């Protein structure tokens, strides 16, 4: 067990830090959360800067045009960006972390040439059309229908939780090409250009009063067969391949942000006088212990990925523990604001020291609610821990069809 970084790793960090120090200050103000065109422009501009500096697709293999960085370098990359308050991946999320990886692994050479450089340069924004209103945790029950018509698929159905749909150019789409009850064996992975006729977008307003997601309605949308990644009815496996690119760094930015929120929370408690209460100091201390442990767990997972290619059980353990700790941190910070925490905007403190950060804390508290739901609910995660790690019996399979080997794989987008 060694937590010290090697000389090449430190050199990678130093170069990156120097580049961030001269680049981030010139980025200009971040656009408002509701300003989607502004966010697209800001995030894709940032992606272009990363590309020019050789940091685009830091976790992509070299043959896909990426940097092919080691898992430890990927950790350093995410850590340094977060510490420099550089933009997070933003609207480039699906392209960089999901669709691009999928096309590298499963796409044809034409598809790779056509789509990958545009993702890396920030020219194309992707969104994800996986979940459906009736296919959430049980993704394999999805029903959006694709019928072959010559060299096109005609697709009808609806998708939900599609982030960045309003500004996306392409959509990674899972459709049903097999029989109605074919589950994992009848799914196909398609690339849907978002300007195709028949695509309708309806933004979803979240409890945080943002439009982070949208619903997609697809009405006889014609998608060329050439846009299929992998074979027909092999889309489930293609999707699983993508997930195998995870190296344990998915929550690095989030976790480092939580440390900052804890610091801000302590500052607020000191301003309001709540810090005199030992109970408050203990809650803060407890959260520090948890976040420290989760940072250590991140390093463990990355180290395991460096050795074996996958973060192992630690990824699920991390998600369960982190998301619940983060929600408690949100509750804690909001409680310290007292009734000022009822305002989702900054409120000037009576101590003459300026605003109390109510807007950030309310937003964070509300956003935190999604953490135990998105990317596999905590209940699904507990099933995974119970069944795949502890070896407890599986949940009953749906009655039709009989159990298949593919039933082991379970995701939610």
Partner 1 sequence: MDFELTEFQTDLAEGVRRLCEGRFPLESVRTAEGSEQVVDKKGWRELGDAGVFNLCLAESAGGVGLGLPEAVLVFEELGRALVPGPLVASHLAAGLIDGAADGAAVVGLIQRPPPGATIPLVVEHLSDLDTLLVLSDQGVAAVDPSTLDATVVHRPMDPLTPLWIVAALPDGTEVGGSDLSARWRRDGALLTAALQVGLAGWSTDLATAYAKTRTQFGRVIGGFQAVKHICADMLVRAEVARVAVQAAAVTIAQPDVGDPQAASLGAKLLADEAALANGKSCIQVHGGMGFTWEVPAHLAFKRARVLATQFGTDDELAEWLGDSLAR
* Site size for partner 1 (CB under 8 A): 56
Rule CB under 8 A: is residue 385 a binding residue for partner 1?
Answer: yes
Q: How far is the CB of 269 from partner 1 (least distance, A)?
A: 9
Rule CB under 8 A: is residue 223 a binding residue for partner 1?
Answer: no
Rule CB under 8 A: is residue 390 a binding residue for partner 1?
Answer: yes
Cα–chain center distance at 330: 19
Nearer to partner 1, 163 or 301 (CB): 301
Which of 85, 118, 210, 288 forms a contact with partner 1 (CB under 8 A)? 288
For the chain, first and last CA: distance in Å? Answer: 34
Taking CB under 8 A as the binding criterion, the range among 15-23, 130-138, 156-164, 297-305 that sits at the site for partner 1 is: 297-305
Q: Which of 152, 215, 246, 267 is catalytic?
A: 246
Q: Which H or E run contains 174?
A: strand 170-176
Yes or no: say if 155 and 146 are a contact pair by the CB < 8 Å rule.
Answer: yes
Which of 114, 121, 299, 328 forms a contact with partner 1 (CB under 8 A)? 299
Count other C-beta atoms under 10 Å from residue 363's C-beta: 18
Residue 39's contacts (CB-CB under 8 Å, 6 or more residues apart) are 31, 33, 90, 91, 167
Rule CB under 8 A: is residue 181 a binding residue for partner 1?
Answer: no
Give the residue from 95, 134, 151, 137 showing the smallest Cα distance to 118: 95
Nearer to partner 1, 96 or 287 (CB): 287
Rule CB under 8 A: is residue 294 a binding residue for partner 1?
Answer: yes
Active site residue 290: no
Q: Is 135 exposed, middle or buried (0-12, 13-18, 19+ CB in 10 A)?
A: buried
Virtual CA dihedral for 214, 215, 220, 223, nearest 10 degrees?
A: 40
Rule CB under 8 A: is residue 348 a binding residue for partner 1?
Answer: no
Cα–chain center distance at 183: 25
Which of 281, 366, 373, 377 forms a contact with partner 1 (CB under 8 A)? 281
Which of 20, 116, 317, 356 forms a contact with partner 1 (CB under 8 A)? 317
Cα–chain center distance at 16: 23
Rule CB under 8 A: is residue 303 a binding residue for partner 1?
Answer: yes
Rule CB under 8 A: is residue 123 a binding residue for partner 1?
Answer: no
Rule CB under 8 A: is residue 403 a binding residue for partner 1?
Answer: no
Rule CB under 8 A: is residue 94 a binding residue for partner 1?
Answer: no
Yes or no: say if 218 and 187 are a contact pair by the CB < 8 Å rule.
Answer: no
Rule CB under 8 A: is residue 386 a binding residue for partner 1?
Answer: yes
Give the residue from 412, 374, 364 showing the smallest Cα distance to 33: 364
User: 82 to each of 198, 303, 364, how far by Cα in Å?
Assistant: 39, 20, 17
**Residue 128 in tokens:** 């994800």
**Residue 397 in tokens:** 């399979």
Taking CB under 8 A as the binding criterion, the range among 36-44, 116-124, 198-206, 262-270 that sits at the site for partner 1 is: 262-270
Rule CB under 8 A: is residue 387 a binding residue for partner 1?
Answer: yes
Which of 69, 72, 127, 310 forms a contact with partner 1 (CB under 8 A)? 72
Please list the active-site residues.
246
Name the site residues for partner 1 (rule: CB under 8 A): 1-6, 9, 72, 75, 262-263, 266, 270, 275, 278, 280-286, 288-290, 292-294, 296-297, 299-300, 302-304, 306-307, 313-314, 317, 320-321, 379, 381-383, 385-387, 389-395
């Amino acid at each position: 067990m060694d937590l010290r970084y090697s000389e090449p790793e430190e050199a990678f960090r130093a170069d990156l830090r120097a580049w961030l120090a001269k680049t981030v200050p010139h980025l200009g103000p971040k656009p408002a959360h509701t300003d989607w065109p502004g966010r697209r422009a800001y995030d894709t501009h940032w992606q272009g800067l990363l590309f020019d500096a050789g940091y685009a697709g830091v976790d992509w293999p070299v043959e896909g045009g990426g940097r092919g960085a080691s898992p430890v370098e990927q950790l350093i990359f995410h850590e340094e960006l977060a510490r420099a308050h550089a933009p997070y991946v933003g609207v480039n999320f699906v392209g960089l972390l999901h669709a691009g990886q999928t096309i590298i692994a499963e796409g044809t050479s034409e598809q790779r040439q056509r789509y990958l450089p545009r993702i890396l340069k920030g020219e194309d924004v992707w969104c994800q059309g996986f979940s459906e209103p009736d296919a959430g945790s049980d993704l394999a029950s999805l029903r959006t229908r694709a019928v072959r018509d010559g060299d096109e698929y005609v697709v009808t159905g609806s998708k939900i939780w599609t982030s960045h749909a309003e500004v996306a150019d392409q959509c990674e789409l899972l459709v049903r090409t097999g029989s109605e009850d074919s589950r994992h064996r009848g799914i196909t992975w398609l690339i849907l250009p978002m300007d195709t006729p028949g695509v309708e977008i309806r933004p979803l307003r979240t409890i945080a009063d943002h439009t982070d997601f949208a619903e997609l309605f697809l009405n006889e949308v014609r998608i060329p067969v050439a846009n299929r990644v992998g074979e027909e009815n092999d889309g489930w496996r293609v999707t699983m391949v993508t997930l195998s690119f995870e190296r344990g760094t998915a929550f690095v930015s989030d976790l480092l942000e939580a440390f900052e929120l804890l610091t801000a929370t302590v500052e607020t408690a000191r301003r309001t006088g709540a810090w005199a209460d030992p109970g408050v100091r203990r809650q803060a201390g407890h959260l520090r212990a948890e976040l420290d442990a989760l940072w250590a767990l991140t390093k463990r997972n990355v180290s395991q990925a460096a050795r074996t290619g996958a973060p192992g059980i630690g990824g699920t353990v991390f998600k369960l523990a982190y998301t619940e700790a983060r929600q408690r941190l949100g509750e804690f910070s909001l409680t310290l604001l007292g009734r000022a925490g009822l305002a989702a905007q900054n409120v000037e403190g009576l101590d003459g020291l300026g605003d109390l950060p109510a807007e950030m804390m309310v937003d964070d508290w509300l956003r935190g609610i999604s953490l135990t739901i998105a990317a596999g609910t905590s209940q699904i995660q507990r099933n995974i821990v119970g069944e795949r790690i502890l070896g407890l019996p599986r949940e009953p399979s749906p009655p039709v069809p009989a159990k298949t080997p593919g039933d082991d794989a379970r995701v939610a987008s």
